[in-house]
Structure 1
Amino acid sequence: MASEPLWRITPQDLDKLMATLEVERAKLSRCTLTAGSQLRVACNDAPTIHYGLQGSGWVFVNDEPPIQLTRHTLVIVPPGKFLVIAGSDHAFRSRRCLGSLHGDIFIPGSSHRCSVGEGEPSVAFVCGSFRAFYGAAVDLFASLTTPIIEKFDVHDQLDQIMNYAVSELAAEDVGGGPMSAALLKLVLLALLRRCLTSVNPWVERFSILSDPPIARAFAGMASRPSDQHTVQSLSHSVGLSRSAFMARFVVAFGESPISLLRRVRMRYAAELLAANALSIDQVALQAGYQSRSSFTRTFRRHYGSNPSGYRAEALRPSDANPAHLVSGSPTFGESTADEQ
């Protein structure tokens, strides 16, 4: 039986942190499997999300214990994991059986509907990939090494949200991509709320949540990147000494506060440039730079181009179109700057 986590982030700190959450590149498919069938999901450099809509199936991720995928079960698999999703059947509870399977590998989001097997589906679910960031710079799942498993219920309405997100992508209408990303953000926000109550072990695997004062300081810099943040002002805002703040920040994020602040500012500036609503001087001020030359030097080091060049490239239309399936049959369990 799961034990209560050793700590809890406060609702106030979690609320501030959730306000900085951004979701990008949501790619979603509605999948059905019959009993005894299986879907081999491509190893992805982004997290994958799986939400049970109807019936029951099994998710097998590398060497992890089998995960039962039932209605309203949410499973998020960290990047770099090869997985198989199977329709309910005794045979598929053995990883030995899965290891001998061959065939095509499904890329989440490459088609909006995917059906495997003939007859009545054993399980229906949404399968997808995405990117999620705090403050446009910190990958929400960077520290995650094992799957997140959380059970919701009908009152949470996540099944409706997931179906709506898939429909938006399938319609290929104007704004479908941003709309689906916004809907997926609702799902992740519902998951993060569970940090206040869930006893499942995934709660303690987010390093950013393991130290509430540090999470609060990060939320401040991420929500107000134009402020003149310093290590001294950030440590003072959360009631820590400078040295204690520095040490705990590096443990939580793997880099110094100023280094992370620079990345937050650059990601924010890149979004403003791509939106094409502000001049470059205005973007520099919004990103916390009083000097355009200092901003340009830092941006060039971070992105490899000047702000004007980045904006021109961001406004160029993209015609990328992923393939539905890629051939291959890997063995199951194989994971195929200047600051002012």
Structure 2
Amino acid sequence: MTIDRILEAIEVDLQPFAFCEIKGASTTLALPGQTQAILHYVTGGRGDIIIGKHSPQKISRGTIILLPAFQHHQLISATETTDPLPQCRPIDTALKHILAGHGPQTLGAVCGLVDISYQGITGILNLIQEPLIEHLEPGDRIRNAMDELVLELTNPTIGTRALARSLLEQCIIMLLRRHHNKGHKSINWLNGVADQQMWTILQHILDTSKEAHTVESLADKAGMSRAHFAKRFKEIYGTGPIDLLRSIRMRRAAELLSGSDLPIKTIASKIGYKSRSYFTRTFEIEFGKTPDKYRKSMNSTT
């Protein structure tokens, strides 16, 4: 199975979009981590993006950012822009207008949640561990498609939702292909998709993450020795199978913490942990907060 066939088969889900307008130099718009990947496309102005505790990165008109799930980040405006920012006209209730600061326009971006499914499996973008950030020059094919997407979202008419979904799919496929060709480590999972044996194991982990998998049990399912399986898995996906399983479980727990009022013990059980205390320690290592504090922080941003 080739990567080309994988890109043909993926489906992109169009989630709610927002037009973010940040006014005034050095105004900050803090955005909480989402349970899905988030896409930012800068439509005008310039500034910085700060992801977690990392150093600021410059952004300007034409910059596209694809962030993995659960990444807290900030958009910070710079100086006043002469670029015209698009006027927000909602497509149904999907396109919201988020305004931060006062004064002259300095930074504008179209932002939205993105999900990709492949062969019935959703949340594929959750396998991306590092942000994809690229500045697109005028005439770039991805930039052209994103500009068309912005035009559709800000001037909705008959067929806008279908066309917007198609344009977004084009952008995501081109972005994934470009970073794969560059050897970006966050796209390593595409190599796994091209290896049917290892892709079957990844599907199994995603589908049955609650089960008590071990390296030995997964190697047996793959029909490989433990050592060969562990080495091959890490070569393809950039992490060990149990590390990936733990990450998938923790992201599922984060979704339940932010989207339900289930007790912590129940959530631990749902994702495969019998001990609440062990689950709490593991969750804190993954997200830097206990489940209780994480839930409170997510509730405070909604």
TM superposition score category, shorter chain reference? 0.5 to 0.7
CA 127–216 in structure 1, closer or farther in 2 if over 3 Å, else same: farther
Q: Distance in 1 between matches of 2:149 and 2:117?
A: 19
| Residue in 2 that maps onto 1:186 | 170
Report how far residue 19 of structure 1 moved: 0.5
Report how far residue 173 of structure 1 moved: 5.1
- Tell me, yes or no, if structure 1 residue 19 matches structure 2 residue 8: yes
> Which letter does structure 2 place at the counterpart of 1:161?
A
Equivalent in 14, 30, 35 of residue 45 of structure 1: 35
> Which letter does structure 2 place at the counterpart of 1:181?
R
Equivalent in 53, 59, 66 of residue 69 of structure 1: 59
- Tell me, yes or no, if structure 1 residue 209 matches structure 2 residue 190: yes
2:134 is paired with a residue whose SS is strand
| Residue in 1 that maps onto 2:146 | 162
| Residue in 2 that maps onto 1:132 | 116
Q: Distance in 2 between matches of 1:49 and 1:216?
A: 31
Q: Distance in 2 between matches of 1:197 and 1:206?
A: 9
| Residue in 2 that maps onto 1:82 | 72
Task: Judge conservation of contact 2:27–2:77 (CA < 8 Å) in 1.
Answer: yes
CA 216–137 in structure 1, closer or farther in 2 if over 3 Å, else same: same
Q: Distance in 2 between matches of 1:28 and 1:166?
A: 10
1:154 is paired with a residue whose SS is coil
Report how far residue 75 of structure 1 moved: 1.1
| Residue in 1 that maps onto 2:20 | 31
| Residue in 2 that maps onto 1:114 | 98
Q: Distance in 1 between matches of 2:180 and 2:68?
A: 22
* TM norm structure 1: 0.50
CA 173–87 in structure 1, closer or farther in 2 if over 3 Å, else same: same
2:163 is paired with a residue whose SS is helix
* TM norm structure 2: 0.56
Report how far residue 172 of structure 1 moved: 6.0
2:45 is paired with a residue whose SS is strand
Task: Judge conservation of contact 1:30–1:125 (CA < 8 Å) in 2.
Answer: yes
Task: Judge conservation of contact 2:47–2:78 (CA < 8 Å) in 1.
Answer: yes
2:125 is paired with a residue whose SS is coil
Task: Judge conservation of contact 1:82–1:335 (CA < 8 Å) in 2.
Answer: no
Q: CA RMSD in A?
A: 3.8
- Tell me, yes or no, if structure 1 residue 123 matches structure 2 residue 107: yes
Deviation string for 1:266-294 (max 9, x for gaps)? Answer: xxxxxxxxxxxxxxxxxxxxxxxxxxxxx
Higher CA-based Rg: 1
Report how far residue 84 of structure 1 moved: 1.4
| Residue in 1 that maps onto 2:257 | none
Point out the more displaced range, 69-78 or 163-172: 163-172
Task: Judge conservation of contact 1:208–1:215 (CA < 8 Å) in 2.
Answer: no
Pairs aligned (count):
207
